[in-house]
Amino acid sequence: MDYDEAISFLGEWGPFQKSVFLLLSLSTVPNGYSGMAMVFLSDTPEHRCRAPYLLDSGANLSQALPTETGADGASRYSRCSRFKWLNGTGAEFSNETEGCLDGWDYSSDRYESTIVTEWDLVCGDAWRVPFSLSIFFMGVLSGSFVSGQISDRFGRKVTLFTTMAVQTLFSLVQVASVNWVMFCSLFFIIGIGQISNYIAAFVLGSELLGSSSRVSFSTLGMCVFYALGYASLPFCAYFTRSWRILLTVLSLPGLLYIPLWWLIPESPRWLLAQGRVEEAEAIVRAAARKNGVTPPAVIFPGKDPLLLKSSTTSYTFLDLIRTTKMRNVTILNSAMWFVITISYFGLSLSTPNMNGDPYLNCFLSAVMEIAAYFGAWLLLKVVTRKTVITSTLLAGGGVLLLVHFVPQNCSVLSVVLAMAAKFGITAAFSVLYISAVEQFPTVVRGMGLGICSMSSKIGSTISPFFPYIGVYDNTLPYILMGLLTVVAGLLSILIPETRDSPLPDDITQVQKINWVCCTSKTRTEKASLS
């Protein structure tokens, strides 16, 4: 008897499972806005060189500032240079230009303050804006390395709440940042906590819920509530135009999760693996009482930790590339996760560069995510994994390439195209995660997903520079992301189909990838031929 058989008396969808589903999904809400908040925290308002001598000289801006053509084709005063003042009588300026030696004047039409206006992250220091978010994603990348090991050693529940506390407390400290270096240093630590609590919540929910609930938990639970957090961001940003107040408003809800410590249990699977049989039984019996069922006298017979079959073979990351089939699956999935993440975060962070209102664009982007998760969940009921992934990626990439041809006066159409692309890319990513779980065998599944996650975090570290390019050319980021997404869609044709196939347990059971001129047979087909 394995673990699932031992707890089958609980049922699949009782009050216990529903509460775990809801509470763990709620824990991911702050993850939806913690990184994306930089869309508003670091937005760059209109600005120009400060010229304090204009009041005394009687000159006007047209004499003091040169003009330049913006990315939208409109003429405006230069943001980074001014004419040299000859300091003579009257308004006398040289034809030579100089930098903004007296600082900048920023427009307050949209924001009272951002980190850009706070520390003058413009012109020669403009690179620090996307780099700030890259540092956050470097923290996320670091967290992806250590979170699994911490969770395996100290427990899913302890890891979840410790990392949630790290994310909340360091976000509150970040409000008091006195310079850009301090802000970024704290942002790195917040990134570590963000990915760690998300992974811990996902693993804990997958181990507490039955097999029939896990797909719904990963899509309609974790992903949808993540998107709901993202959707709340533009509302908070609209009513709090100061970056410090906005960051405070977004950080304080983390304190509301403290009571969940007494409502969310530890994973009985993990407790059994640690030999803590009595604690595991106590949690299962409490779940039985909540579901109104009577547990057997002995739930986990014997004293052996964890009743699942274990292998005497020790596997390492090298096993992901040791055989041809395993190596192809690893490389293919890693490449796709890397590319899709660039497009996903590139679009999410580009909302200020889109035509139209940035708050509305951000909200529409979040709504598209929610619709994409529901759409992917429904599509998986009728079509194959590969069909969903390939069709949505090719459609999303194609739509992004069309943005280049939209005239400047058709702002609504360009936003619609960008949101349609976001829908396709998000839906593909959610299904790709399920497909990867089903492609990697049990003995290296954790390490395989870890490699894919690492690849995606590298992509997310690069993604903030795509919106940065949009400051100089509005359509170039969409062209680049469109091309990358189309490439990912073409690569997805090679993915082996895993629908209705049993999960592979050993490396020898891994399916071949589908090369262009031939389609590999599934294990079921091979068995029938033999």
pLDDT of residue 352: 56
Contacting residues for 68 by C-beta, under 8 A, at least 6 apart: 75, 76, 77, 78, 79
170 phi/psi in degrees, rounded to 5: -70, -25
Asked if residues 171 and 251 have their Cβ atoms less than 8 Å apart, the reply is yes
Q: Does domain 1-44+126-310 have CATH number 1.20.1250.20?
A: yes
CB 40 within 8 A of CB 236: no
Nearest Cα neighbor of 207 from 220, 218, 223 is: 218
From first to last of its 530 residues, the chain has per-residue pLDDT tens of 466 677 777 777 888 888 888 888 888 888 888 777 888 888 888 888 887 776 655 566 777 777 777 655 667 788 888 888 776 555 566 777 778 888 888 888 888 888 988 898 888 888 888 888 888 888 887 877 676 667 767 777 888 888 888 888 999 999 999 999 999 999 998 888 877 777 778 777 877 777 667 667 777 788 888 888 888 888 888 898 888 999 999 888 888 888 888 888 888 877 776 777 777 788 888 888 888 877 777 777 654 444 444 444 556 667 677 787 878 888 888 888 888 888 887 777 666 555 667 788 788 878 888 888 888 888 877 888 888 888 888 988 888 888 777 666 666 677 778 788 888 888 888 888 777 777 777 566 666 777 777 787 788 777 777 766 665 666 777 888 888 888 888 888 888 887 767 556 566 766 777 765 444 444 444 444 33
Note the pLDDT of residue 248.
Answer: 92
Where would I find the H helices in 155-179? 156-174
Distances (CA, A) of 242 to 48, 179, 321, 362: 20, 16, 49, 18
Instruction: Write down the pLDDT at residue 245.
Output: 92
- The interaxial angle of helices 180-208 and 156-174, nearest 10 deg, is 160
* pLDDT score recorded for residue 183: 92
Do the first three CATH levels of 1-44+126-310 and 316-524 match, i.e. the same topology? yes
Q: pTM for the full model? A: 0.73
Q: Where are the domains of the chain?
A: 1-44+126-310, 316-524
Which CATH fold topology does 316-524 show? Growth Hormone; Chain: A; (1.20.1250)
- pLDDT for the residue 185: 92
